[in-house]
Amino acid sequence: MGVLTQGPATKQTIDQLCINTIRTLSMDAVQQANSGHPGTPMALAPVAYTLWQRFLRFDPNDPIWPNRDRFVLSNGHASMLLYSLLHLAGVKAVNPKYETLGELSVKLEDIKRFRQLDSKCPGHPEYRWTSGVETTTGPLGQGVATSVGMAIANDWLAQYFNRPSFEMFDYNVYSICGDGDMMEGISGEAASIAGHLKLSNLCWIYDNNHITIEGHTELAFDEDVATRFMGYGWNVTRVGDANDMEMLSRAFTTFLKTTDRPTLIIVDSHIAYGAPHKQDTSAAHGEPLGEEEIRLTKENYGWPEDAKFLVPDGVRENFSAGIGKRGKEARDAWMSLFDAYKGKYPDLAAQILKMQHRELPDGWDMNLPVFPADSKGIASRDSSAKVLNVVAQNIPWLIGGSADLAPSTKTRLTFDKAGDFEAASYGGRNFHFGIREHAMGAILNGLSLSKIRPYGSTFLIFSDYMREPIRLSAIMELPVIYVFTHDSIGVGEDGPTHQPIEQLPSLRAIPGLITLRPADANEVTEAWKVILQLHHEPAALVLSRQALPTLDRTKYASATGVAKGAYVLADAEGGKPDLLLLATGSEVSLAIEAYERLKSEGIRARVVSMPSWEIFDHQPQEYRDSVIPPAVKARISVEQASTMGWQRYVGLEGRMIGMHTFGASAPLKELQKKFGFMPERIVATAKELLGKAR
């Protein structure tokens, strides 16, 4: 039976035994689930094993210590590769309170229940669900792009926290990826910015196996990846055989010695099983091998042919003596260093602890602006800039930037020493993502996974370019902040290509994402307060280009109602309205104008500002009914966006004033007249509704 029947194992033999254990666990799990991808885990087992066993600084007993190396499996369909490593290395589980538990993150029972309900081994790796998984992967390209954010985070953390003799942050980021990752455009965006920033702590391992779902890559992909990455400014090296551990080790050593650019290691692998003549692409992408092919493959490995989920003696012990011992030593040394750091730099040490627990520093909400009533008002993007520049001074690890639009989104930090994050100055807090919205979204996820509090901005219409990373931030429960400006037909002359219509309802459709569209400057302040206190939810702050009147809060309700998602802004006498006017953002002031006209005619109306549906929907039923009384059936919603979703609030008898086309190119006032966003229309609709009701 090959290695299993030999005498005392040589080092080469125990390495091969561990590699084949990863392979057989992967094929057995996929076969039992009758679902999954065995080929890539089997082909890449030597690559991942060499990295984990010889290089990765990762303590299985404390998989969240801050200065650990990060490992990202970008081709997440090969998830059994990661689950096998987590199990064999003995990685411990961590609970939501960041406490390490005594039990394994991935038990053998979980592997046996691969892709089954509640198993810690779902089809693709999921952050927060399985300890040791650094980020959720599956949509190709997202993992490698997220790894860029992790690498950026280390460089910023090092610049901010490191002191002479106290190198608190110097971790490396490794990501395994495949042809699918390379084809997705996001990988090009991410690689481009990584090269520009000279992220020397970043290493991508490209599985060059020439296989995708449809067959050989020559069907659609024949570019020279090495030349492409050299053009991005990367160091490129190649390993001709994925099974050659010594060549792999030399490649990883080359990465560690490269200090001026990221590294791409191109590894040539082949998907082949069983008898030497058999070669098949189907199992790489979603098909079990079948019992006969597994039997032949195990025979080829010198493995007991009928054994399933076998972990031979010595395998776990070998992992413990390798990554386990090395990781524990690195972690213990860091903890000792941190204890000394606390004594010499107590304020910085306290900040590290607060960051790791996603807490805010004391006084984070000091000096927030309060805006006086002003009929001319201020664009919410401008009031947001004022708030952002205050809270960013109070929260040192609140950092971010835009996709080449900071002058328009007003997200540049302008206070003294804010600085720019660039290859020569990793301590800057203003990021320049370039016109790379998709990669920006994934990089923000990587920053957040590293416990930095990131924000990124662009026009609301371009949120569509960021859809997948926004969705993943919600799945991972990351408090990423998305600042979207130019939120409506208020964009004006730029026309339909730049006027967002369906974007608001589409963002609201993402479970777990908090969307806020504030009505005036003081609602903007309150929105930022809400966002910064989120621990597990990403937020989309939707802001206007055009000026919004700053409401007189001595006449109307306090903007603190934003904290409940929706609130009664203006009410009928005695709090007993016959009509409800529901609005968000720039349309709230239109509703207020209509309210005042209706009031002058003796019509009892109520204006409800609804900056966040999600927050409002999570309020107690009693509060929701107090804001939108079930007995009041005459309701009108006003929003310069698709009306999708408003039915839940206006009911069957209500009316929705919204957009039903893609807008037009014209000055804002003309657009408001054309599409009916005028107080007169709201008043006329209200009278019609009440007339019918009577």
Active site residues: 437
Secondary structure string (H, E, C) spanning 145-178: HHHHHHHHHHHHHHHHHCECCECCCCCCEEEEEC
CB of 341 closer than 8 Å to CB of 509: no
CB of 62 closer than 8 Å to CB of 331: yes
CB of 55 closer than 8 Å to CB of 171: no
CB of 539 closer than 8 Å to CB of 484: no
Q: How far apart are CA 656 and CA 646, in angstroms?
A: 7
Nearest to 545, CA basis, from 485, 598, 599: 485
Secondary structure string (H, E, C) spanning 418-443: CCECECCECCCCEEECCCCHHHHHHH
Please state, as a whole number, how many other Cβ atoms lie within 10 Å of the Cβ of residue 316. 17
HSE-CB for 419 with a 13 A CA cutoff: 14
Q: How far apart are CA 443 and CA 437, in angstroms?
A: 10
Nearest to 558, CA basis, from 596, 519, 602, 528: 519
Nearest to 605, CA basis, from 634, 571, 643: 571
DSSP sequence for 283-333: GGGT----HHHHHHHHHHHT--TT--S---TTHHHHHIIIIIHHHHHHHHH
Run of H or E residues at 549: strand 547-550
DSSP sequence for 227-265: HHHHHHT-EEEEES-TT-HHHHHHHHHHHHH--SS-EEE
In sequence order, the 6+-apart residues with CB closer than 8 A to the CB of 572 are 578, 599, 604, 605, 606
Burial class of residue 114 in the structure, from the number of CB atoms within 10 Å of its CB (0-12 exposed, 13-18 middle, 19+ buried)? buried
Nearest to 634, CA basis, from 567, 586, 584, 682: 682
CB of 154 closer than 8 Å to CB of 173: yes
Please state, as a whole number, how many other Cβ atoms lie within 10 Å of the Cβ of residue 378. 21
Structure tokens that stand for 285 in this block: 């992408």
CB of 453 closer than 8 Å to CB of 397: yes
Please state, as a whole number, how many other Cβ atoms lie within 10 Å of the Cβ of residue 578. 18
In sequence order, the 6+-apart residues with CB closer than 8 A to the CB of 317 are none
